[in-house]
Amino acid sequence: MRHISTRGEAPAIGFTDALLAGLARDGGLYVPEAYPHLPREAIAGFAGLSFAETAKRVMGALVEGEIETPALDAMIDAAYASFRHPATCPLVQIDDNLFVLELFHGPTLAFKDVAMQLLGRLMDHVLKARGQRATIVGATSGDTGSAAVDAFSGLDQVDVFILYPHGRVSDVQRRQMTTVDAPNVHAVALEGTFDDCQAIVKGMFNHARFRDDLLLSGVNSINWARVAAQATYYFTSAVALGGPHRPISYAVPTGNFGDILAGDIARRMGLPVAELVIASNANDILPRTLETGSYTVTGVMPTTSPSMDIQVSSNFERLLFELYERDAGAIRGLMGGLAQSRAFAIAEEPLARLRRTFSATSVPEDVVAAEIGRTWREAGYLLDPHTAIGVVAGREGLARNPGTPMVALATAHPAKFPDAVEAASGVRPPLPPHMADLFDRAERFEVQPNDQGAIERFIRARSRIPGARAPGGGETGAAS
C-alpha cells in the first residue's frame, strides 16, 4: 500500500518509509492511498481475542505485508507484554452505559505507550534491516516525550531529542523524561509552549539539509504509524461492547487530534462508530472551529490538563484532507493561510461533513475538577484531569443518545497529575511500584531558547551520526 501526502507534492511511499519519514517533504502528513476495509465478519471475529491478537489483524491490514508477518506479530506481542494489565487496555463501567477505556497501563502511564511501544520496535527493526541510523526528534506536552524516552532509550540505531515546554509539564512527566540515564536520550526544556516545540520540530523536518544530515525521524502523531497503531483499541473496546453488531460512541480528550483521528481511521476501516466527540480543555480551538467554521489560533492557556494545552492540532490536517475529498491543493491553501495569518476558514461542504461526523465540547477548569470529585464519590473511580474532560463530554453525548454505549478514553493514570487530582477529590494517587523511586532519581535536561537554529546546533553537537556535527548550510525550514 502506498502512502500519500496531504499536500500532494511529495512522492508516494510505502509503510516503512512513512514510518521513518515522519513528516512528508512537502510539509504534509502521510495517509494511505486507500484505507483497508475489514469486513463486518472479520471484526465480529475479534470477539474473545486478546489485545495483541486484535492488533495483529488491524496493524496487519495497515502494514499490508511490508514487514514480514512473523516479525510484525513478534513485535506486537513484545510491545503489549510491557503492559501491566492482562487485558492491556481494559474497559471499566462508571455509570449507566458510560465506560472508560483505560489506556494507561503501559510503562509511562499514558495512552502514548500503546503506539510508542510498537513504534520503537518497528523503527529499530527497519533501521537494523537497512543498516541505518536515525535522529528522532519529538515535541511533547509531557506524555509523548516520556513514552518515547522509554521506548527508544538505549537503542543503538537512534538518538532521541525531546522538546518540552519548560515549566509547563507535570513533575512526574518531566522526571519520566529527565531521569533516564541513557546516552542516546536528550531532554530539552524549551523556553516556550508546546506549540513552539511542535513548530520547531516541523521546521527541522522542513529544513532539507538538516533533515538529511541528521537522518531525521519523528515520533509525534504526525508519523502515520503512530496514529495507525492507536486504531486497535477502538476495535477491542467496540467488540467488547457488542460491536460491530451495534455502533459505539467515543469521547476523546483531544489536543493534537491524533487519538480521535485513530477512531476515524477505525471507522474508515469498517468499524461502526456512532459519535466521535472531541473533548477539549479550555484551549478550545476545535470546538470553536466546529461552531464557526473558522480555525483561529489564539494564545495557549495553562490548565490542569497540560498535555492538552495545544492550539495547533497537527492531525486535523489529515481530517481536513478527507473532508476536502483529498484535494491536496485546497489543503496547501489552508495550511498556507495558517502559516501566514494563524487562521483559515473551512468551506461550506467540508464543514457540513465535519459536523456530520464529529461533535465537540470544551470543558472549563471548574467542571473538570467537579467531574473528578463526582466520579470519585459516585463510582469510587479516580479520573485524571484529561480523562475527566472525556467523561464530561461522554455524559453530554449520552444525554443526546442514551441508548448507545459511550466510551470515554482514559488517556492518563491519575498519578501523573497528583496535585490536580488531590485538589479535586481529596485523594492523592500514588505512583505504581515500578515508578516509586521517580522523585529520588537525578535529573538531566538542558534549557534552550525558543529558536530553531539554536536547537539544530544543539542536536548537531550531540549527534552520533558521522558527519552530522559539522554545521549545515541552507535556509532554516518553516513550521507550516
Ligand X SMILES: N[C@@H](CCOP(=O)(O)O)C(=O)O
State which of positions 347-366 bind ligand X (CB under 6 A).
Answer: none
Asked if residue 143 binds ligand PLP (CB under 6 A), the reply is yes
CB of residue 467 to ligand X, shortest distance in Å: 29
* Contacted entry of ligand X, ligand PLP, none for residue 140, CB cut-off 5 to 8 Å set by kind: ligand X
State which of positions 54-113 bind ligand PLP (CB under 6 A).
Answer: 110
Which region among 44-52, 143-151, 290-298, 340-348 touches ligand X (by CB under 6 A)?
A: 143-151
Asked if residue 170 binds ligand X (CB under 6 A), the reply is no
Is the Cβ of residue 192 or residue 244 nearer to ligand PLP in the bound state?
Answer: 192
> Cis omega (within 30 of 0) on the bond before 244?
yes
- What sections of 179-327 are H helices per DSSP? 194-205, 208-214, 224-230, 232-240, 258-268, 285-292, 316-323
* Contacted entry of ligand X, ligand PLP, none for residue 220, CB cut-off 5 to 8 Å set by kind: ligand X
Q: What is the largest CA-CA distance in the chain?
A: 62
Is the Cβ of residue 51 or residue 257 nearer to ligand PLP in the bound state?
Answer: 257
Is the Cβ of residue 413 or residue 460 nearer to ligand X in the bound state?
Answer: 413
Which region among 7-15, 32-40, 138-146, 152-160 touches ligand X (by CB under 6 A)?
A: 138-146
Is the Cβ of residue 169 or residue 269 nearer to ligand PLP in the bound state?
Answer: 169
Q: Return phi, psi of residue 324, to 5°.
A: -90, 20
Determine the Cα–Cα distance for residues 132 and 287; give it in Å rounded to an integer.
Answer: 42
Is the Cβ of residue 305 or residue 463 nearer to ligand PLP in the bound state?
Answer: 305
Q: Can you read off the three cell numbers belonging to residue 230?
A: 492507536
* Contacted entry of ligand X, ligand PLP, none for residue 480, CB cut-off 5 to 8 Å set by kind: none
Determine the Cα–Cα distance for residues 252 and 387; give it in Å rounded to an integer.
Answer: 8
Residue labelled with grid coordinates 475489514: 38
Out of 255, 287, 397, 405, name the contact with ligand X by CB under 6 A: 255
> Cis omega (within 30 of 0) on the bond before 32?
no
Q: How many CA atoms lie within 13 A of 473 on its CB side?
A: 0
DSSP E strands: which ranges in 52-141? Answer: 91-95, 98-102, 134-139
Those residues whose C-beta lies under 8 Å from the C-beta of residue 437, and which sit 6 or more positions away, are: none
Those residues whose C-beta lies under 8 Å from the C-beta of residue 166, and which sit 6 or more positions away, are: 189, 190, 191, 192, 447
Number of residues that bind ligand X (CB under 6 A): 13
In the three-class reduction of DSSP (H, G, I as helix; E, B as strand; rest coil), residue 312 is classed as: coil
Is the Cβ of residue 174 or residue 460 nearer to ligand X in the bound state?
Answer: 174
Determine the Cα–Cα distance for residues 480 and 202; give it in Å rounded to an integer.
Answer: 7
Out of 176, 220, 463, 480, name the contact with ligand X by CB under 6 A: 220
Asked if residue 218 binds ligand X (CB under 6 A), the reply is no
Question: Over the Cα atoms of the chain, what is R_g?
Answer: 21
Q: Are 165 and 198 in contact (CB under 8 A)?
A: no
Asked if residue 256 binds ligand X (CB under 6 A), the reply is yes
Determine the Cα–Cα distance for residues 346 and 330; give it in Å rounded to an integer.
Answer: 10
Is the Cβ of residue 15 or residue 257 nearer to ligand X in the bound state?
Answer: 257
Out of 107, 258, 287, 472, name the contact with ligand PLP by CB under 6 A: 258
Asked if residue 27 binds ligand X (CB under 6 A), the reply is no
Residue from 427, 434, 429, 414 nearest 110 by CA: 414
Q: Which amino acid belongs to residue 48?
A: G
CB of residue 426 to ligand X, shortest distance in Å: 27
State which of positions 299-318 bind ligand X (CB under 6 A).
Answer: 307, 314
Which one is catalytic: 56, 112, 202, 416? 112
* Contacted entry of ligand X, ligand PLP, none for residue 375, CB cut-off 5 to 8 Å set by kind: none
Asked if residue 412 binds ligand PLP (CB under 6 A), the reply is yes
- Would you give the DSSP letter of residue 302? P
CA distances from 234 to 111, 239, 242, 244, 286 (A): 13, 8, 12, 11, 21
Number of residues that bind ligand PLP (CB under 6 A): 15
Is the Cβ of residue 88 or residue 314 nearer to ligand X in the bound state?
Answer: 314
Out of 28, 138, 243, 253, name the contact with ligand PLP by CB under 6 A: 253
Determine the Cα–Cα distance for residues 111 and 412; give it in Å rounded to an integer.
Answer: 6
Asked if residue 472 binds ligand X (CB under 6 A), the reply is no
CB of residue 171 to ligand PLP, shortest distance in Å: 15
CB of residue 215 to ligand PLP, shortest distance in Å: 25
* Contacted entry of ligand X, ligand PLP, none for residue 254, CB cut-off 5 to 8 Å set by kind: ligand PLP
Q: Is 128 a catalytic residue?
A: no
Q: Are 193 and 160 in contact (CB under 8 A)?
A: no
175, 176, 180, 185 alpha-carbon torsion, rounded to 10°: -110
In the three-class reduction of DSSP (H, G, I as helix; E, B as strand; rest coil), residue 250 is classed as: strand
State which of positions 144-163 bind ligand X (CB under 6 A).
Answer: 144-145
- Would you give the DSSP letter of residue 326? T
Is the Cβ of residue 253 or residue 472 nearer to ligand PLP in the bound state?
Answer: 253
Q: Catalytic residues, which ones?
A: 112
Residues binding ligand X (CB under 6 A): 140-145, 220-221, 255-256, 258, 307, 314
Residues binding ligand PLP (CB under 6 A): 110, 143, 221, 253-259, 307-308, 386, 411-412
